[in-house]
Amino acid sequence: MKPVAHGGDMRESQRRFPDAPRPWIDLSTGINGVPYPVTALPAEAWSRLPTHRDEQALLAAAAARYRVRDAGAIVAAPGTQALIQLLPRLLPKSRVAVLGPTYEEHEVCWRRQGHGVTVVSTLEEAEGADVVVIVNPDNPTGRLFSVKALRAISARLLVVDEAFIDLLPAQESLAGDMPPNSIVLRSFGKTYGLAGMRLGFAIAEPGLIDRIHNELGPWAVSGPALEIGRMALGDGQWLTATTARLAVDGQRLDAILTAAGCKIVGGTALFRLAHHFDAQAMIARLGQHAIHVRGFEREPQWIRFGVPANPHEFNRLTKAFNL
Amino acid sequence: MKPVAHGGDMRESQRRFPDAPRPWIDLSTGINGVPYPVTALPAEAWSRLPTHRDEQALLAAAAARYRVRDAGAIVAAPGTQALIQLLPRLLPKSRVAVLGPTYEEHEVCWRRQGHGVTVVSTLEEAEGADVVVIVNPDNPTGRLFSVKALRAISARLLVVDEAFIDLLPAQESLAGDMPPNSIVLRSFGKTYGLAGMRLGFAIAEPGLIDRIHNELGPWAVSGPALEIGRMALGDGQWLTATTARLAVDGQRLDAILTAAGCKIVGGTALFRLAHHFDAQAMIARLGQHAIHVRGFEREPQWIRFGVPANPHEFNRLTKAFNL
């Protein structure tokens, strides 16, 4: 199987544009460029095996943040990707409908475990599937289904990947009041800007959560991730400030991209999806200015832009466009 | 299934001996009490997704340390436990023989995936099994099979968990010259005293390593673990000094345990297995002195002692025994 292309690895751009000035700016991901501050960790977070108590403290903070009522309905993993890998192993061979185009790992992981996968573009086309997978809001388009629309889906299992929902109003998430046939995935690293830390969550009925917990095994999440995750998820003030900053910076990005001739066709608080008639030339131009963005093989007129992290990055982008 | 009892969680001892003086000392694990120093990490290790290049740099350091010749023959995971969980999913239903008594997660994980598991006490009893699992040296007994004995095993798959082999001469490891039917697991956290970091490796023929890599998925290992692991595994000087310190401290521990009436019946550089006619009373006595050790339900006369980390811990142990 051909490996899935992701944002975040600048090597290829750097090889393609060896003469671009250093340092490069990475706008290819939807990872917050202003991370939650990592303070000095207690030595024990590194040295000893995480305890049940450490794990419970993280899960309590996550449950409060995500409005999960039942402590037995949430489990932590070393990144949402670990859950995307695992879930297809827990179900008998099924007909799986993935709402697309979207984050490609869902399709790849269900297929790898022998399920029959169709990528569909509407909820209607997903009807009759045993498993329906929806990234909500979608990456990269930002398409958002309402909780009401999600609750109307009658599949045996509904997988809702809410990797980019943190910065939307809480009522947009299915996690607070889940139908019994559903599982919600929540990511830590994108909103909190700590993607290297590896932390994600699954929320579902306790029976399924137990099975996931057993498959992950003991000590699945690192001590530092348990500690930082607990602090960050409990910090409502930081999230409020981040939401406000990204609202302002996102509008600034929109203005720049529009002035550069792009049409904003989608996005979330952490990234924008831009359409440009000659997106490939635009990607090359940005590369010559040492700015790495995300193109899409299947949609050659699309570019995904992460929100710049600071005035310096905004200036670099403005200059690259000659605005 | 009843969860497996492990060392490392002092809560139960603390509840049992609420009047013991603080702080507690944890000698219940085989984790080095003098960890590899965690220096300040580059912010990017936390903030961005680990790249292929980061992963390759770690694997190169690990391959050199473990004398693995083929770069495609090794894969990293967030802890050896993640590999112990995963391996039984990759094989058709098999007859599995686990050399025991040993680290119980092997038995539990093969059984969970529907394999037929027998715990056997000799290599002869393992004959005829499809899969043979050996912890080498064993935890907790320290029993060590020679590479020659391991190579003579004709099972379809031989799993050798070398979690405690780092501090033995390199030629004791199967990793340097592996028979094609074998897979070796190497742990980072025990020797380097960073069990909370979650890092482990599998070494096998590239076809099997590819399958494991695909099952783990991208970004399985955290950025901090890639960075610290690479530095530590490349630091031969630290390992030499640690080996020397543990040799001295291990002998000191032996002398104390012998004087306390124990017989040393096994162990490795990182722990000792002691036999005492009234081990339960000894565990209680140590608990009253706020020292947490590991007892064994199935072997009530056994106690596992981690090697104390410093003179203070040695003194506490000596005093608890009234020596």
Please identify which residue in the block is written with the tokens 């686990």. Answer: B98
Q: What span, in angstroms and rounded, lies between the C-alpha atoms of A160 and A153?
A: 11
Contact at CB, B45 and A196, closer than 8 angstroms = yes
Choose among B8, B223, B224: nearest Cβ to A49: B8
Contact at CB, B198 and A214, closer than 8 angstroms = no
What pLDDT is attached to residue B323? 87
What pLDDT is attached to residue A257? 98
Contact at CB, B11 and A51, closer than 8 angstroms = yes
Choose among B11, B112, B217: nearest Cβ to A82: B217
CA distance B242 to chain A (A): 16
Q: What span, in angstroms and rounded, lies between the C-alpha atoms of A82 and B218?
A: 9
Q: What span, in angstroms and rounded, lies between the C-alpha atoms of A87 and A209?
A: 11
List of chain A residues whose C-beta atoms are within 8 Å of the C-beta of residue B89: 89
CA B295 to chain centre: 17
Contact at CB, B79 and A219, closer than 8 angstroms = yes
Q: What span, in angstroms and rounded, lies between the C-alpha atoms of A309 and A25?
A: 10
Choose among A82, A85, A195: nearest Cβ to B49: A195
Please identify which residue in the block is written with the tokens 């039942």. Answer: A70
What pLDDT is attached to residue B298? 87
Nearest to B318 by CA among B258, B269, B278: B258
Q: Tell me the pLDDT band of A8, cut-offs 50, 70 and 90.
A: low
Q: To 10 degrees, what angle do helices A223-233 and A52-66 make?
A: 30
For residue B76, what is the enclosing H or E element?
strand B74-77
Q: Which of B46, B106, B294 to mutate to test the interface with A (most CBs of A within 10 A)?
A: B46
Nearest to B80 by CA among A268, A74, A217: A217
Give the percent of chain A with pLDDT over 70. Answer: 98
What pLDDT is attached to residue B3? 61
Q: What span, in angstroms and rounded, lies between the C-alpha atoms of B196 and B206?
A: 28
Question: Mind listing the pLDDT tens digit for each residue in A83-121?
Answer: 999 999 999 999 999 999 899 999 999 999 999 999 999
Q: What span, in angstroms and rounded, lies between the C-alpha atoms of B29 and A90?
A: 32
3 state SS of A35: coil
Mean pLDDT across the stretch A65-88?
A: 96
What pLDDT is attached to residue A49? 93
DSSP A299-322: -TTEEEEEPPSSHHHHHHHHHHTT
Strand A302-306, strand A95-99: pairing: unpaired
3 state SS of A55: helix
Contact at CB, B223 and A44, closer than 8 angstroms = no
Instruction: Return the exposure string of B196-215: e unless at least 16 CB atoms fall within 10 Å of the residue's CB, then b.
Output: bbbbbbbbbbeebbebbbbb
What's the token pair of residue B75? 């894969």
Interface ipTM > 0.85: yes
Q: Which of A26, A49, A86, A91 to mutate to test the interface with B (most CBs of B within 10 A)?
A: A49
Nearest to A308 by CA among A296, A295, A291: A291
3 state SS of B271: strand
Contact at CB, A8 and B52, closer than 8 angstroms = no
Give B283's Cβ-side CA count (13 Å radius): 24
Contact at CB, B194 and A85, closer than 8 angstroms = no
Contact at CB, A217 and B9, closer than 8 angstroms = no
What's the token pair of residue A117? 């996968």
What's the token pair of residue B21? 């003086």
Q: What span, in angstroms and rounded, lies between the C-alpha atoms of A267 and A304?
A: 8
Instruction: List A186's β-bridge partners, or say none.
Output: A201
List of chain A residues whose C-beta atoms are within 8 Å of the C-beta of residue B112: 214
Nearest to A156 by CA among A111, A115, A213, A194: A115
Mean pLDDT across the stretch A68-80?
A: 95
DSSP B89-146: GSS-S-EEEEESS--THHHHHHHHTT-EEEEESSTGGGTT-SEEEEESS-TTT-----
In chain B, which residue's Cα lies nearest the Cα of A40? Answer: B40
Contact at CB, A197 and B46, closer than 8 angstroms = yes
Nearest to B298 by CA among B22, B134, B104: B104
DSSP summary character for residue B219: T
Segment-wise mean pLDDT, segments of 10 residues, chain B, 323 residues = 68 89 93 95 95 96 96 96 97 97 94 97 95 96 96 96 96 94 97 98 97 97 98 98 98 98 97 97 96 93 97 97 91
3 state SS of A153: coil
- Given a cut of 70, whether residue A17 has pLDDT beyond it is yes
For residue A160, what is the enclosing H or E element?
strand A157-161
Report which residue type is found at A277.
Answer: F
Q: What span, in angstroms and rounded, lies between the C-alpha atoms of A165 and B262?
A: 58
Q: What span, in angstroms and rounded, lies between the C-alpha atoms of B302 and A48?
A: 23
Q: Tell me the pLDDT band of A290, cut-offs 50, 70 and 90.
A: very high
Mean pLDDT across the stretch A236-252?
A: 98
Contact at CB, B52 and A79, closer than 8 angstroms = no
Question: Mind listing the pLDDT tens digit for each residue in A176-194?
Answer: 989 999 999 999 999 999 9
pTM of whole model > 0.90? Answer: yes
- Given a cut of 70, whether residue A10 has pLDDT beyond it is yes
Nearest to A71 by CA among A82, A83, A55, A87: A55
Contact at CB, B218 and A31, closer than 8 angstroms = no
Instruction: Return the C-alpha torsion angle B167, B170, B173, B174, nearest 10.
Output: 160
Q: What span, in angstroms and rounded, lies between the C-alpha atoms of A194 and B49?
A: 8
Contact at CB, B222 and A11, closer than 8 angstroms = no
Contact at CB, A222 and B196, closer than 8 angstroms = yes
Contact at CB, A109 and B217, closer than 8 angstroms = yes
CA distance B124 to chain A (A): 31
Q: Which of A36, A48, A52, A111 to mutate to test the interface with B (most CBs of B within 10 A)?
A: A48
CB A216 within 8 A of CB A77: yes
CB B39 within 8 A of CB B224: no
List of chain A residues whose C-beta atoms are within 8 Å of the C-beta of residue B221: 198
Q: What span, in angstroms and rounded, lies between the C-alpha atoms of B149 and B182?
A: 13
Choose among B51, B79, B198: nearest Cβ to A9: B51
CA distance A11 to chain B (A): 9
Question: Mind listing the pLDDT tens digit for each residue in A19-41?
Answer: 998 899 999 999 999 999 998 89
The alpha-helical segments, DSSP class H, found in chain A are 11-16, 43-47, 52-66, 80-86, 105-112, 123-126, 147-151, 206-216, 223-233, 236-259, 279-288, 311-320
Number of residues that this document lists for chain B: 323
List of chain B residues whose C-beta atoms are within 8 Å of the C-beta of residue A218: 3-4, 6, 81, 105
In chain A, which residue's Cα lies nearest the Cα of B86? Answer: A215
What pLDDT is attached to residue A3? 61
Contact at CB, B29 and A47, closer than 8 angstroms = no
Contact at CB, B47 and A4, closer than 8 angstroms = no
CA distance A149 to chain B (A): 31
Choose among B3, B35, B78: nearest Cβ to A46: B35
Number of residues that this document lists for chain A: 323
Choose among B8, B51, B197: nearest Cβ to A222: B197
Instruction: Return the exposure string of A16-34: e unless at least 16 CB atoms fall within 10 Å of the residue's CB, then b.
Output: ebeebeeebbbbbbbbbbb
What pLDDT is attached to residue A1? 47
The per-residue pLDDT of chain A, averaged, comes to 95
CA B72 to chain centre: 24
What's the token pair of residue A38? 């990592």
CA distance A180 to chain B (A): 24
Choose among B9, B89, B197: nearest Cβ to A51: B9
Choose among A26, A29, A47: nearest Cβ to B196: A47
